[in-house]
Structure 1
């Protein structure tokens, strides 16, 4: 995924370090703030055009996120910082106020339902105050499997992997990996039970 994310940015060493999870100084970088500003402008235009010219909005979305497969749906407000670092499987739906903070590689599988106001965070700052004030940070990847459902206002922390078919309850803060085929809730998010063999929705 790192190679794909960097394909159009040869020689950008700060971007390579960011995607690789190496220590970077964002505020001293000559390239990273520009990438974030470009993404912010693209997101603003996507959000502005979404209801009046959806075809153009989705064209801009796929230009910003070349790793998004066919059938991905978004709704405003949509906000990310590094579109080249986002990979989304076919037919995934991102509800309103979806946000990704930071430059870790984020992979979301196919046919996911991501509820409103969900946030994926990839940066970690230095623990030492002096290093933190000097701007040192590193980003960790987040991986979300296929057929995953997030309720509203889920927060995903850096480095987390969530398995296929899992359901994350509304308001959860996901700090650790969650296995496939699970129902998980809470702060910190934890598995409360496996998925049932018979869906009670249709029982």
Structure 2
């Protein structure tokens, strides 16, 4: 398998492989151009986002500043608002449905590392070897249609947030959230059901 194939399969991969350095360089160049545009230059902004993201629907706004790793792994539906100062670490796919609101300072992470030290560090690592000193892998994140993520929410790798959810400001989402839930806290927990879903919490 190539390093890219390993990455997308959720296996440990060399994040300093040339392909990822190319992805990062391209994303940073596009983001530099994006950040240089005025608020009202919406057509030009959309043109850059179409180049940056894997897919983007209609009526999508992304406030500045905005940071992403590769851009190419971000897939966004229609009618999506991403407010200022958001960070998407899209080493694996980040999929956002339709009619989603993402408030300021939201962070979505797909990249992570083994918890055990002996698994996290590369034993034979040496400076200049072309690899990172620790093991990295990445898991996809999905945000369902109709969701609202409050300010400062952090979404961790591998998480799926079901359709119609509201995630309270400052929450850290460590595991999947079922559809039509209000969920808050660190770690984020469901506190009630909404949108006519009468299922017990």
Fold shared per TM-score above 0.5: yes
Q: What is the distance in 1 between the residues matched to 2:165 and 2:52?
A: 28
Q: In 1, Cα distance between the equivalents of 2:18 and 2:121?
A: 18
Q: Distance in 1 between matches of 2:110 and 2:45?
A: 26
What is the CA-CA distance between 1:114 and the residue it aligns to? 0.5
Structure 2 unaligned blocks of 5 or more: 123-133, 197-201
The farther-off stretch of 159-168 and 73-82 is 73-82
Could you tell me which of 84, 98, 102 is aligned with 1:110?
A: 98
Q: Comparing both structures, which one devotes a greater share of its residues to helix?
A: 1
Secondary structure of 2:190 counterpart:
strand
- Where does 1:33-182 land on structure 2 (aligned, <5 Å)? 33-51=21-39, 53-134=41-122, 135-182=134-181
TM-score normalised by the chain length of structure 2: 0.86
1:22 to 5, 11, 14: 11
CA contact (8 A) 1:50 1:76 kept: no
When the two structures are aligned, how many residues end up with a matched partner?
Answer: 186
For the 8 Å contact 2:87–2:105, the answer to whether it is kept is: yes
**Is contact 1:46-1:58 (8 Å) kept?**
no
Q: Judging changes above 3 Å, is the alpha-carbon distance between structure 1 residues 57 and 196 closer, same or farther for their aligned structure 2 residues?
A: closer
Q: Structure 1 length normalisation: TM-score?
A: 0.85
Separation (CA, whole Å) in 2 of partners of 1:66 and 1:143: 14
**Structure 1 runs not aligned, ≥5 long:** 1-11, 198-203
How far the C-alpha of 1:71 sits from its partner, in A, is 1.4
Q: Give the match for residue 8 of structure 1.
A: none
| Residues 147-181 of structure 1, C-alpha deviations (whole Å, 9 max, x = no match) | 00011000000000000000000000000100001
Quote how far apart the aligned CAs of 1:16 are: 2.3
Partner SS for 2:72: helix
RMSD over aligned Cα, in angstroms? 1.9
Give, in angstroms, the shift of residue 130 of structure 1.
Answer: 4.7
CA contact (8 A) 1:18 1:24 kept: yes
TM superposition outliers: structure 1 runs of 4+ over 6 Å: none
Distance 1:54 1:111 in 2: 19
